[in-house]
Structure 1
């Protein structure tokens, strides 16, 4: 892009952990950011699952540039070996970071980005395209404003865009009409939503850490709420991938999560339906009937509610006018696809990567954080921090720093080749926005090592 746009800000979409880390790295390099967050506070998506405990300790959850901004204020990083809840991540890290003058004066809350384009050039126009800044359309308080930007980093995540529970990636018949019977991927079973689940029959659909979190919370609830019944439906023929590597997992909370889920399933406290294909959802008074098929028989179960923990997919509507190079299967940057393919990688085996693999045909536009993984389920928070560090270096003209990427991720203790040996559909054991460990009397644990993912993701069925 022409240097005439250098005075314009870099628009960062989303004020979650990765978005605020992007702002910190840009500020550190003398590049002006403008952070746009649709929620009324930073970390709005994280706050939605604030009751869940990450399975990655604080040492993986604080970005280095953000830490360098915070430390001069007297802020002290929490115990690096402690596992924070989502609420603690927001209260103890994101909120103090956003309150810094360097950040808060560059932050717009309650502002939703609805479209991005090259100024004066739709997607089809090539002549002079690279010389045009980006035009970012923002809606706030009912008012529409266009902001010009030298570059855009989309870290908006995937939390608001869950996969349907129907077969083949399509909604089941009646799924939208009966949405009132469905919950999001991480209901607060032991807290805010207890009354809905206590003494009722719940069907959990999905085979990622979000599903595991909810299942173990329901198991704990059943110990004190008679009549609480749990059914679990997965598309694959084995749950071994989610049961994980146990003591071999370098994130102990993640390993314990799988071990506890395995024990609860084998003991009969959870009824597991394998190779489930959900075709229709029908409301029947206060209950809902879920029908379809398994490999050998008809699937027909009537429950009180369904927890959709099938993962997430990226919202690409706002980038329709941007020239992107996305993988046709995972909807992630094409150069990244081979590195994160859940058929071959878990969250501990994804190589370090940065700006070079995240760039698109429209120079200066990047998708980072969980959204950069498209439908792959392997995303870890530390990965997003390294992504935006590299992107900020590139935007500042430091090519060497942008290309020098490093990432030390904890191994999962299980790999897709092990899973394939059992005849299971291979997929990563990672999570993209929330892994969780349930301890009796303690909050659940989710994983930033986080895995709220997508298509056939950590959280897909």
Structure 2
């Protein structure tokens, strides 16, 4: 059913998928209202602008957004080039957000705290589908404001809700109190955050690409700054899956990543502790101690939580959602993205019908639509919002006609050992070309790591 009233469609989040959603809505003649918690569009990506993506530009831009930009004389980056997070912002997302058609509808410093129906909670059914949404926002000045909406597209991502350090999916005892000793999930240890790590002991927690990224960069810092100590704690009994296939790996960059990390561990540059499920964290005397469930302890100055992410569902409590019980994605999508059984190369393209909830005209899109699964791709998010915009416009045929065309590889990833489309970070002397495996056309790459765009299954720490 088409959105026919004069209220806007609220888009939560001004990251790549949220801005793309607004572009598609505008093309459909539907008024968007974009609410971004950060001070600027793409505020989450700004936190890891130092990371270079593994996927080239041709898969990182949305067609409707490009059409808006092209009308202003914007020149698209070279399609085969690999952008950093900063380049993704500076060359694409910031210019897109600055367009009058987008900027006039973008509210920054607007954190959505709740979504419901006007005048009714989730227990009320009568006239529910025709009742406007109410979106409550906490503004940067400390005030609260309510917006009414004809529909809501939640593209808020998962960057702000990392998985905890503790076992069983819960924060470790004392984790909140030790927050001053816990960094962001992808710190810039060779740049912006260098002072926090140089000459200090860092414990990296996690067994995914984000952990590998930081471990290699910390090892480079340790080679430059005496007294820098690199410790790696994982919950599993072995780091073999992180090391991958080495020289026999079908993907050269992936094999080099594993080989280099293994060499750092074997040389003692990285101090590995396996079977270290964190039960407690305690800060004292300017340092922090981590205690494993078996009683072992590690001391550090700073902890890097490379533990993966999960969706913030609290703000959606008053909506009628249907979520997969395992990965917390829309129920129909959940079984198709479960990382125990699928990589992104085996996830079928999908749109509004698969993303729908019992709450009519409400959609979760982008990385948040994948819940706790780690295999989300930007190109997938762009196809999601194209389909959702078509559905909201009443064009069911377009909504149901999947148009996603990924590389021949399927740009697949579910974990460190099966990753193609992952971010890359500078590593001296490790330039390579991908070949074979799940990746089709060769692309020059460096060692690959995931980020907030498409993170590895680092929750298995």
Q: TM-score, normalised by structure 1?
A: 0.89
Q: 1:94 and 1:333, CA in 2 relative to 1: closer, same or farther beyond 3 A?
A: same
Q: CA deviation at 1:413?
A: 7.6
- Hey, what's the Cα distance between the residues in 2 that align with 1:449 and 1:49? 8
Could you tell me which runs of 5 or more consecutive residues in structure 2 were left unpaired when the two chains were aligned: 431-445
Q: CA deviation at 1:259?
A: 4.3
Does 2:251 align with 1:263?
Answer: no
Q: CA deviation at 1:145?
A: 2.2
Mapping for residues 312-461 of structure 1, pairs under 5 Å: 312-405=309-402, 406-408=404-406, 410-411=409-410, 429=419, 435-440=423-428, 446-447=449-450, 450-452=453-455, 457-461=457-461
- Quick check: 1:378–1:429 contact (8 Å CA) kept in 2? no
- Quick check: 1:56–1:447 contact (8 Å CA) kept in 2? no
Equivalent position SS for 2:359: coil
- Hey, what's the Cα distance between the residues in 2 that align with 1:319 and 1:74? 40
- Hey, what's the Cα distance between the residues in 1 that align with 2:246 and 2:38? 37
- Hey, what's the Cα distance between the residues in 2 that align with 1:333 and 1:51? 32
Q: CA deviation at 1:269?
A: 2.1
- Quick check: 1:436–1:445 contact (8 Å CA) kept in 2? yes
Q: 1:429 and 1:290, CA in 2 relative to 1: closer, same or farther beyond 3 A?
A: farther
Equivalent position SS for 1:84: coil
- Quick check: 1:429–1:458 contact (8 Å CA) kept in 2? no
Equivalent position SS for 1:114: strand
- Quick check: 1:380–1:449 contact (8 Å CA) kept in 2? no
Q: 1:67 and 1:171, CA in 2 relative to 1: closer, same or farther beyond 3 A?
A: same
Match of 1:238 in 2: 238
Q: CA deviation at 1:54?
A: 1.5
- Hey, what's the Cα distance between the residues in 2 that align with 1:119 and 1:309? 39
Could you tell me which runs of 5 or more consecutive residues in structure 1 were left unpaired when the two chains were aligned: 420-427
Mapping for residues 4-403 of structure 1, pairs under 5 Å: 5-140=4-139, 141-244=141-244, 256-293=256-293, 298-403=295-400
- Quick check: 2:122–2:319 contact (8 Å CA) kept in 1? yes
Q: 1:119 and 1:250, CA in 2 relative to 1: closer, same or farther beyond 3 A?
A: farther
Q: 1:95 and 1:383, CA in 2 relative to 1: closer, same or farther beyond 3 A?
A: same
- Hey, what's the Cα distance between the residues in 2 that align with 1:310 and 1:13? 25
- Hey, what's the Cα distance between the residues in 2 that align with 1:281 and 1:275? 16
- Quick check: 1:381–1:448 contact (8 Å CA) kept in 2? no
Q: 1:249 and 1:70, CA in 2 relative to 1: closer, same or farther beyond 3 A?
A: farther
CA RMSD, Structure 1 to Structure 2 (Å): 2.7
- Hey, what's the Cα distance between the residues in 1 that align with 2:38 and 2:52? 21
- Quick check: 2:60–2:379 contact (8 Å CA) kept in 1? yes
- Hey, what's the Cα distance between the residues in 2 that align with 1:404 and 1:2? 17
Q: TM-score, normalised by structure 2?
A: 0.89
Q: CA deviation at 1:356?
A: 1.2
Count of residue correspondences: 443
- Quick check: 1:244–1:413 contact (8 Å CA) kept in 2? no
- Hey, what's the Cα distance between the residues in 2 that align with 1:278 and 1:398? 50
- Quick check: 2:388–2:399 contact (8 Å CA) kept in 1? yes
- Greater CA deviation, 441-450 or 305-314? 441-450
Q: 1:92 and 1:412, CA in 2 relative to 1: closer, same or farther beyond 3 A?
A: closer
- Hey, what's the Cα distance between the residues in 2 that align with 1:202 and 1:387? 39
- Greater CA deviation, 314-323 or 436-445? 436-445
